A and B are shown apart, each in its own frame.
Chain A
Amino acid sequence: MAFMQNDEDTVNEFNQYVKPVSLWADAWKRLRRNRMAVISLWIVGFYVLVTLFSPLLQSAGILKSYTEQYIDHQNLRPSFKPAGELVIERLEARLAQLEESIASRGAAGDTSYSSGTGFDFGPAPEIVFDDEEGGESEGTAEAEAEAEAETEQTEEAAFEYTYIDSVQEELDRTKAEIESLRNTIHTDPIHSRVYILGTDDLGRDMLARTIYGGRISIMIGLVGTLTAVLIGILIGSISGYVGGMTDNFLMRFVDIMYSLPYMLVVIIIMSIAGNKGRGSIVILFVAIALISWLTIARVVRGQIISLKNSEFVEAARSMGAGTPRIIFRHLLPNTLGVIIVFSTLLMPSFIMQESFLSFLGLGVSAPQASWGTLVSEGVRGMELRAWQLLVPAITMTVFLFCMNFLGDGLRDALDPQSKNRG
């Protein structure tokens, strides 16, 4: 039926072929003229494709697993060199440092190891003892375990243990490590892994983690937007079309919800979901989508009210169409442009909100990770390992950037005389 109509439309009353210029074709033409929007569209498409096909990429061997941990490979910097070489480089740097430390201590004649701290190794730029960060440090560095063992020892027999001994011990161990690495580097395939974007503090590939984080973030953005749009359309169109008491009741409800501090309510919901529930993405969806439909509902209601007295609605009604048919067949398609614009602008805000919660530790939790989780993990060690912060942060920012540009572009294209252009 719908197809038939379209075919008839392409011929005018003089039987001439008319190329129809629909709103959509028109909008598409305008959008294509906006260069930033087109570039953004490509980039967003790229993100979606990569995150969508990341399991395929992984099974094809292009992408590494985001859960695989190699303790040897923790905190490697971004590089095109194989991991083995990087580890050796790092160990050699550490070796030089230890030697220097021994030399200077020896020269100062300060051999006794003063009480208390087991961490007094002199400057150690690559290995950080972030004990107080807790939580994530299941894959503790050998050195850290050593240090802990050492504190215990010092408590038992503090004066038998001297500083030089401990440094000497580590020196020997580092030497042995380098030696064994040199032997295995060409035979063990693990050491030939290349981490273009470095690794995190558990030796996981940052590239894979960022892509999988994007997968979750984008998914939450999409699902959240879809739910919000569906609820918003339903409530908004009923409220707008039916009017009267229903409208009054629904809109007062929306007003009250509006006056609630949105993020605080979401935080309460995440908090009462508790430790078990907190990790679950479903609750996050529910919490965010529960409140986010308000704006859409208002917008749709406004549009419907302005359209419901127009002639085509009158015509439909006189032909006997029921309320649902008028709403869904006649009114909603006419508000679609506004809804699309709002959804594109809603999605980045969802992603931001989800990441906001994850950043605070109230959103997605391990083993899953969203961009927000990755950024918050990166913040912990950013002084020494800036890439762990910058890689997810930049990836996320670029995506949000493009979504915003795309939203602006769509608004200009679909709604050229829009008043509220910020």
Chain B
Amino acid sequence: MARFFIRRMLSLVPTLFIIVTLSFFLIRVAPGGPFNRERDIPEAILQNILKRYHMDEPLMKQYTRYLGDVLRWDFGPSLKYRDRSVNEMIDNGMPVSAILGVSALSLAVFLGVGVGIISALKQNKWPDYTAMSMAVVGISVPLFVIGPVLQLFLAIRLKWFPPGQWLDDHGLKAIILPAVTLAFPYFAYIARLTRASVLEVLRSDYIRTARAKGLKESVVIAKHVLKGALLPVVTYLGPALSGIVTGSVVVETVFVIPGIGRPFVQAAINRDYTLIMGEVIVYSLILVVANLVVDLVYGLLDPRISYK
């Protein structure tokens, strides 16, 4: 187990290295820089600016310098907001985005699994139909439609929720709409997945055996069905998390949440290269680590997988 864990950890290194390298060169090779303005800057000033960001050095030297900086967890100054460093902006936004992401993910998983089980047990009865039509809506409607529509009807028209402000002003109530919006598609997918796999497990021999032993139905479900049925859900957690991370960019834009998603979009529009790089590295790190955790959990749940 420990050896597997270490090997898996080590395999993260090339992935992250590739991400850093790829994004670095993609950005540097592209024509036009962040300092290209409509008005020409005098050559001397431009040289000074380039010097300040070490952009006058040869590309390889810049690259090794950047790698060193990243290893020390230093992403350098933002190119657009001159007085702030990328680290500062990420540190400020991170807690907010983390709260949003974690609450959305747990909402999606717990509600999704719950609804999925119920609709599998009540197959082809009304709870099943309601849940599954909701799931279809969740899968087909994009986040940036659900978000504004919920905001329009629940926050602005009915005034049940604050339309945009984050925790400071409204407490926990402010988190509900963004988290629900972000969780909805993944809730839907997890519910469908759980339903399908619970139905399949219910037909299997070991469940028949468990019932034949005279176990109570609740025990059969909780102890035997769930353990087998949750495997596909655990595998889906990786893609779900990656979707929630990218989706949070939209949700933060729609609900005006001061996380790390909004600066990322702004950076992409402004071509604020250091900020884009920093954000991409942070996001990739989250995703890669999350996938590792998913792998480990998968192994714990499925005895057929052994860590050798």
Contact = CB atoms under 8 A, between A and B. Distances in A.
B230 interface: no
A111 to B, nearest CB: 34
Contacts of A274: 30-32, 271
A260 B15 CA distance: 8
Interface in B196-247: 196, 242, 245-246
Contacts of A390: 149
Contact of A264 (B30, B246, B269): B246
B303 to A, nearest CB: 21
Given A355-B144, A378-B148, A261 B268 contact: no
Contact of A268 (B14, B145, B156, B276): B276
Given A352-B142, A359-B250, A396-B145, A421 B196 contact: yes
Interface in A171-208: none
Nearest to B254: A379
A379 B147 CA distance: 10
A386 B155 CA distance: 13
A261 B27 contact: no
Interface residues of B, number: 49
A256 B15 contact: yes
Contacts of A248: none
B30 A261 contact: no
A360 B267 CA distance: 11
A372 B147 CA distance: 13
Given A264-B280, A272-B271, A389-B149, A376 B136 contact: no
A272 B144 contact: no
B265 A361 contact: yes
B141 A397 contact: yes
Interface string A328-340: 0000000000000
Nearest to A267: B268
B193 A422 contact: yes
Contacts of B291: 259
Contacts of B14: 256
Interface in B19-69: 19, 22-23, 26-27, 30-32
Contacts of A360: 249-250, 253, 265, 268
B144 A356 contact: yes
Nearest to A396: B145
Given A360-B265, A379-B254, A400 B26 contact: no
B23 A268 contact: yes
B223 to A, nearest CB: 24
A362 B268 contact: yes
Contacts of A370: none
Interface string B141-178: 11111001101100010000000000000000000000
Contact of B140 (A271, A386, A400, A422): A400
Nearest to A380: B148
B76 to A, nearest CB: 17
Interface string A391-422: 00100110011011100000000000000011
A270 interface: yes
A232 B267 CA distance: 32
B144 A376 contact: yes
Contacts of A376: 144
B140 A375 contact: no
B130 to A, nearest CB: 16
Contact of A260 (B19, B27, B245, B249): B19
A259 B15 contact: yes
B193 A271 contact: no
B284 A264 contact: yes
A95 B245 CA distance: 49
Contacts of A383: 152, 156
A386 B267 CA distance: 30
B27 to A, nearest CB: 6
B281 to A, nearest CB: 10
Contacts of B141: 397, 400-401
A397 B145 contact: yes
A213 interface: no
A256 to B, nearest CB: 6
Interface string B243-272: 001100110011000000000110111010
Nearest to B11: A259
Nearest to B200: A419
A281 interface: no
Contacts of B269: 271, 361-362
A261 B254 contact: no
A256 B18 contact: yes
A264 B32 CA distance: 21
Nearest to B189: A422
B54 to A, nearest CB: 19
A268 B269 CA distance: 10
Nearest to A278: B269
Given A269-B26, A356-B250, A379 B148 contact: yes
Interface string B107-133: 000000000000000000000000000
B196 A422 contact: yes
A362 B249 CA distance: 12
B96 interface: no
B296 interface: no
Nearest to B28: A272
A362 B144 contact: no
Nearest to A400: B140
Contact of A375 (B32, B148, B268): B148
Nearest to A392: B145
Interface in A23-80: none
Nearest to A403: B140
A348 to B, nearest CB: 7
B144 A271 contact: no
B94 interface: no
A355 B242 CA distance: 18
B31 to A, nearest CB: 8
B288 interface: yes
Q: Which of B141, B144, B253 neighbours the largest number of chain A CB atoms within 10 Å of its CB? A: B144
Contacts of B189: 422
A361 B268 CA distance: 9
8 contacts: A259-B291, A261-B19, A261-B283, A268-B280, A361-B269, A382-B152, A389-B149, A396-B145
What 8 pairs between A and B have smallest CB-CB spacing?
A272-B30, A271-B268, A263-B246, A401-B140, A400-B140, A422-B192, A393-B145, A359-B144
Given A265-B22, A375-B144, 12 more contacts: A256-B15, A264-B283, A265-B23, A272-B26, A274-B31, A356-B143, A359-B144, A376-B144, A382-B151, A393-B149, A403-B140, A422-B192
